Amino acid sequence: MRMMDLGALRIVQLHDGYGAIDGNRVFYPATQDEWGEGTGADPTGFMLNAYQPLLINEAGLHTLVDTGFGQTNPGRRRDMQDDLRSLGLAREDIRRVIITHAHGDHIGGNTLLVDGKYLPAYPNAEYVVQQSEIASLQEEGGPVWQQRFAPLQSSGQLHVVDGEVSLTQAITLWPIAGHTAGQQAVCLQSEGAQAIFVGDLGLSIKSFARPDWGPSWAWSREADQANRRRIAEWAIETGALVMLYHEPRTPWFRIRRATAGNGDYCTIPE
């Protein structure tokens, strides 16, 4: 776990395991000769990939950002529930869940399969997701909706928002479509300090050094690139801390303008 105080907020990055991912797809259309340095990638282009939801404690109210794999992918070697237990927290203590986007490694833990029925994994929490993400899932009508979101709707726990929304004085949601139709970032501010958790807007710290390199599977590569650059510019202007879900080594960093030929921006790990 990593943890810090951001003003009056206590922020903890949980670990839900590790896997491998093809850097040639992460940094498309760059070649490994261009993106490989410092990533630890093997000769085939695969590199370490972490799964790291965020926990926010705001005056005793616990907000979870993304739910990890849940009961899926048992080979991932870590389970975020172990981290929650080490913090003295049970599922019932989580009062809000924010979903950045509806990919399986971010929403597999939304629900639990109990006696053949999918139930909300956090029974006292509202689950907050963008309308555009829900609309895309409902249009598909597949197992992601049926297993991970429909049970939340049935229990009255699904909270659908549309666009930029402030949940509290400290937590604001920003639409950052591109990776998916309705991805959202979580902007945090307290006592003059700012941070932003960007979901899969960047899968690596290097994603923000070269924002035109991005996932080949993005819903809209153009929107993904544009939002990555927009958030980078905002982070430079405000000095905000940027936090990533998948970066295994340096998931928290700040951004500065590049002064040499090493990319569009410089990323400075915290």
Look up residue 149 and give its DSSP letter.
I
Collapsed DSSP state (helix, strand, coil) of residue 212: coil
Measuring CA to CA, which residue among 102, 145, 110 is closest to residue 127?
A: 110
Measuring CA to CA, which residue among 96, 84, 8, 53 is closest to residue 246?
A: 53
Summary count for the chain: helices (H), strands (E): 9, 18
CB 180 within 8 A of CB 103: yes
User: CA angle 52-71-87, nearest 5°?
Assistant: 50
**pLDDT tens, residue order, the chain (270 aa):** 999 999 999 999 999 999 999 999 999 999 999 999 999 999 999 999 999 999 999 999 999 999 999 988 777 778 999 999 999 999 999 999 999 999 999 999 999 999 999 999 999 999 999 999 999 999 888 999 999 999 999 999 999 999 999 999 999 999 999 999 999 999 999 999 999 999 999 999 999 999 999 999 999 999 999 999 999 999 999 999 999 999 999 999 999 999 876 668 999 999
Fold of domain 2-199: Metallo-beta-lactamase; Chain A (3.60.15)
- The structure tokens listed for 251 are 């998931």
CB 221 within 8 A of CB 178: yes
Q: Which residues pair with 114 in a beta bridge?
A: 117
Alpha helices in 14-166 (DSSP H): 23-26, 32-35, 80-86, 104-107, 131-140, 143, 150-154
Distance CA(252)–CA(90), nearest Å, equals: 26
Is pTM beyond 0.85? Reply is: yes
pLDDT of residue 262: 61
Distance CA(229)–CA(146), nearest Å, equals: 34
Measuring CA to CA, which residue among 101, 47, 107, 45 is closest to residue 73?
A: 107
Instruction: Give the CA distances from residue 235 to residues 17, 58, 250, in Å, rounded to whole numbers and listed in that order.
Output: 28, 22, 17
Measuring CA to CA, which residue among 156, 171, 103, 112 is closest to residue 133?
A: 103
Instruction: Give the CA distances from residue 101 to residues 28, 125, 168, 266, in Å, rounded to whole numbers and listed in that order.
Output: 21, 17, 20, 27
